[in-house]
Structure 1
Amino acid sequence: MYMSPFTSRRITYQTLGEQLRALRTSEGLSVSDVSAAIRVRQEYIAALEAGHYTVLPSGIYIRNFLKEYATFLGVSWKRVITLYEKEMRAFAQHIEKGKYFAKQGPSLRAVVVPKLLRIGLLSTLMFVVFLYIGFSVYTTFAPPRLIVSEPFDNLIVQDHVLHVIGSTDSASQVMINGQSVPVQASGGFEQRVSLHDGLNTIVITAQNKHSRTRTVSRQVVVEPSS
């Protein structure tokens, strides 16, 4: 067995791997130097110093490995093995604790994400409801649509009969100069209106079921031919 000439010293770092690495580097030794001296694979030395204990062999092999490494660095191999076993117990408890919480239910993220989705869906539903209510209020208090396509305003004609053509909401009533006019299912209407010589004012009014009205006026001048 190779015996290191270095004097014995106490390990003062936080983890076993950090302590061993600090001792090795303080002596100017590389991982390959240690591997060649104690005949242990370099990846095992690197894993031990990094705290990757799951990579290391188990049983008597790891104990011999730790004993050789500690002796080579000039530290108490019993203390090194004790620290290793202590850290392994802590590691095992950490694994068991993780399994325990996994059995208890979904993670925080698994709980929060569906909750956010529910909040988003509820917000969208509330927006749609308010939009519908707003539209209903608007249609209740807004006057009906009324478009008069014929005649044009300030029209000059020679005939004493004129066709008034337009459209409104299908459920609305239309009156032309105070006379009720039939409205088609599509909302369209057409009515003949008698005119007199000179200026004629045609008043078209649409009224919906909520008694809201909209009025359009057209002025037509009749200039009979001489």
Structure 2
Amino acid sequence: MTFLHKRVGDGNTAFGADLRDLRDLRGISLEQASAETHIQRSLLKAFEEDRLRDINDPIFAERHFLAYVDYLGGYRPYFTARYANQLAALNSRRTIGDLLPRQRSVRPLDFFVGPQFLAFLGVLTLAGVLGAYVLWQARAVNTPPPLVVSAPVDGARLDTARVQVVGRTIPEAIVTVNGQDAPVDGDGVFHAALDIRRGTTVITVIAKRRRGSETRLERHVVFDRPLPDSEELEQLLAPPPEGATTTNKTPF
């Protein structure tokens, strides 16, 4: 059996150099030792550099220290005494503030765990969808409905005292023609018939949303009944026979 004879570390507290020598003797890297002992590499490095002050809980870490000593084949009583002496020296230099738990900065995301974050994200998404829907509805209500009047054309001259008004809008609109309701079918088409007087008549077509703005179009038509010809006019102006009942046949 081969034995390692060396001078141990100075004083009665240092043990880091002894740990490094044991590890170098075995030809083991820190990464390999961490993987085989399941101890964090940073903790092993702190042990080998005598930095117990950088360990959050050096008392709890003692079990990892002894496991590392056993892994390297060190003499446990020797390293146990060294660790205890260094720990006592460390505690004698610590203030009350050093013994209190270390403060940790808290970020907003620390308040959210997985399910809570997903629930918050779902509520936020739902609120966004509802807000967009409300904005879309408000814009739709404030937008005048489309309106097209295909008949009659503006300035049309008619030879009858009745005009047919035809147009198209959205199916849910309410349409009036010169104040009279004009039914709108499922395709948005509406019809209305108006009696007009001789001369120029203004036809006003209004399409209005049930709760919102309206669209208004006007058409001008002229009812210009033609005058009778000369022969018909002579018959109309001729005096009636004696004894006949007189009626007014003047067409204008």
The normalised TM-score by structure 1 is 0.49
Task: Find the structure with the greater CA-based Rg.
Answer: 2
Higher helix share: 1
With a CA cutoff of 8 Å and minimum separation of 6, indicate the structure with the bigger relative contact order: 1
The normalised TM-score by structure 2 is 0.45
